[in-house]
Chain A
Amino acid sequence: MAKREYLGEFEFVVILALLRLGQDAYGVEISHEIERRCGRGVSLGSLYATLERLESHGLVSSALGEATPERGGRAKRYFQVTANGLDKIRESQRALCNMWDGLKQLEVMR
C-alpha cells in the first residue's frame, strides 16, 4: 500500500492560519493569529520548523519581503499555501468530518 502522509494537528492549524491571513502571512502575524483563534501560545522556533517542513513537502511556498528598521533591518518571509497544500487540507478536513459524523456525544457539545 502506498504511504500516505497526514497533516499533524499543528500543521493543520498553521495552514488554516495562512489561509486566513492571505497576503500578510509572516511569522509574527501567523503566531498572533494562532494565539487569537486557538488561545494557545506559539513559539516562533516551532512555527518556523513546521513551516520549513511544510515547504519541503511542497504544501507551502515562501518569498522574502523588504528589510525594515522596525525588524532590526531584517526581511520578512511571507508564506502562501500551494495548490498541493489546499488539496491536502481538504483531504484532512474530509477525513476529520468522516470521523466526526454520527458521534452523538460531540453533537451535544456543539
Chain B
Amino acid sequence: MSALKPPVLATWLLGLMDSNAWQDAVAGDLFEDYQQRRSSTWYWCQVLMVVAIAVGKDLRHHWVLALRALAVAVLSLCLAHSLVSQLGVVPRVLHMASPLLGWWPSVVIVAALEPFLICGPAGLAVALTHRKRGATMVLLYVAALFAILVCLCANRAHWTPGCVVFWESAVFALAGALFGGFLGCAWEGFSRTRAI
C-alpha cells in the first residue's frame, strides 16, 4: 500500500522550523503515525503543537534575537509606510478604480492593499534578517501585530461601514505579514538547499 500524504501546508509549516535531527525525527514520527490515524485534523493539531513548542523554546533561548526581530519589524513598517505614502499608492489606486468600480468598492480595495503593502515587506525583512530562526521571528512579529490590532479593534466593535473597512485592513495587515514572512522563510530555505 502506498503511503498516504499528510496535509502539504502543515508539512511545509513544520519544515520552516529550524531543521535539525530532532525536528526530522518529529516529522518522521508524525508521518508514520499519520499513516495509521489518517486524520488531517489530528495531523494539523500535532504540527501546531510542535511549532508552538519550538517557537516558545526559541524565544526563551534567543530573547535578544526576538527583541531585534521586533525592532526590525517596527523599522521596516515605518520605512514601508513612508514609501507607500511617497509613491502615493492610495490616491493612485483610488483615482484609477473609482471611475470603474465606484467610490465604496475602491475604498475597500485600498483598505486591503495599503496594510498588505506595509506589513508584507516588514515580514519579509524579519525573515531575511533572522535566517535560521526566521519562522519563529515571523510568528513573533505576526503575534505582536495581532495583539496591537486586537487592541485597536476592541474599540471599534460596532458594525458601521467605517469599522468594517478598519476590520478588513486589520485582516489584510495580518495576511500581508504572514505572506511576506513566509515568503522570506521559503526563500531562505530555497537558498540554503541550493547552497548544499
Contacts and interface: CB of A to CB of B under 8 A. Distances in A.
Interface residues of B, number: 23
Q: Is the interface of A mostly helix, strand, loop or mixed?
A: helix
Given A43-B45, A69-B3, A70-B3, A75 B50 contact: no
Nearest to B45: A43
B26 interface: yes
Contact of B53 (A31, A45, A75): A45
B35 interface: yes
Contacts of A46: 49, 53
Interface string B19-34: 0011011111111110
Contacts of B24: 74-75
Contacts, number: 71
Contacts of B51: 45
A77 interface: yes
B35 A70 contact: yes
Interface in B37-79: 45-46, 49-54, 57
Which 7 A-B residue pairings sit nearest by Cβ, starting from the closest?
A: A74-B28, A27-B29, A77-B25, A45-B50, A71-B28, A45-B49, A72-B31
Interface of A: 26-28, 31, 43-46, 48-49, 52, 64, 67, 69-72, 74-77
